Copies of this chain bind each other. A is one copy, B any other.
Amino acid sequence: MRSWKLLLEYDGGRYSGWQEQKNARTVAGELRKAAEEFLRAEVEIGGAGRTDAGVHALGQVAHLRAALSRKPPAEMLRRELNERLPADIAVLEAAEVSGRFHARHDALSRTYLYRISQRKRAFEKRYVWWVKAPLDVRAMAAAAQTLPGRHDFRCFCDADPAGAERSTVVVVESARIEMEDELILFRIEASHFLWKMVRRITGALVKLGLGEIATSDFETLLAGRAEPRLNVAAWTAPSSGLFLESVRYPGEPFPRRTASQLFPLPR
């Protein structure tokens, strides 16, 4: 049995999410096809984050296992997978690891990045949420600063489609809003996320930025108190602006690569 850890980036626009599904094109499904074709063996694949349909990744991490007697070098595996994967999925790094490594269970935290643009640009529609009306970014940033810590995020999640009863309490390690040129970037790090959680928090932050809800409304939601007039589900931010940016593991103190390294578009 051979095990590898893979660092992946993908444009999620054409995929029904990361997780394999019958009759749908998924990122893990494409990875399986490429890996089984090259290794000529059945493979086991697991990803650190189950990105939804249309959500992108700058630094998804996956494990890949196969019962093999030969031992293809990791760099060859990376190259051969890239040759076989579609243009919108790339393996950035591959390393052989212990068979005990599990991309999801071993991860300490995930960081998601949400990109909001206030100005039309020709190359980015697929990678932002374009909000035309003026936003009070200061109010949004202040609200984002209240996210770290232990909170009941029941107002910011959707029922798990798998029907699992899970706690809606999540410990957020960090959350912040920054301006970068004309972009509003929202980053949030937590050990795990509930379904649609980042997109619903983002949607509520934008409602706050638009002045359509008050800071006290955001506090009410973060306290886990649902109110009919606060229809967070209807505010869910579009998947186009969401990126799984990085995954942190034990013994990797500074795993996050700057996104200009990760996403080298024209400059």
Write the residues of chain A forming the contact surface with B, with a CB cutoff of 8 angstroms: 8-11, 56, 58, 82, 87-90, 113, 115, 117, 120-125, 127, 180-183, 243, 258-267
CA A209 – CA B260 in complex, angstroms?
Answer: 26
Contacts of A243 in B (CB 8 A): 266
Contacts of A9 in B (CB 8 A): 121-123
Select one of B8, B125, B263 contacting A267, CB under 8 A: B263
Question: Nearest residue in B to A245 (C-beta to C-beta)?
Answer: B266
A-B pairs, 8 with minimum CB distance: A259-B267, A265-B265, A260-B267, A87-B125, A263-B266, A90-B122, A9-B122, A82-B120
Question: Nearest residue in B to A13 (C-beta to C-beta)?
Answer: B123
Can you list 16 A-B contacts with CB-CB less than 8 angstroms, sorted by A residue number?
Answer: A8-B122, A87-B120, A87-B125, A89-B122, A113-B266, A121-B264, A123-B127, A124-B265, A127-B266, A181-B260, A259-B266, A259-B267, A260-B260, A262-B266, A263-B266, A263-B267
CA A261 – CA B181 in complex, angstroms?
Answer: 7
Q: Is B90 within 8 A of A180, CB to CB? A: no
Q: Is B122 within 8 A of A266, CB to CB? A: no
Q: A123-B265, A124-B264 are in contact. List 15 more A-B contacts (CB 8 A).
A: A8-B122, A10-B122, A11-B123, A82-B120, A87-B120, A88-B123, A90-B120, A90-B122, A124-B265, A181-B260, A259-B266, A260-B267, A262-B266, A262-B267, A263-B267
- Greatest chain B CB density within 10 A among A117, A123, A180, A258 is at A123
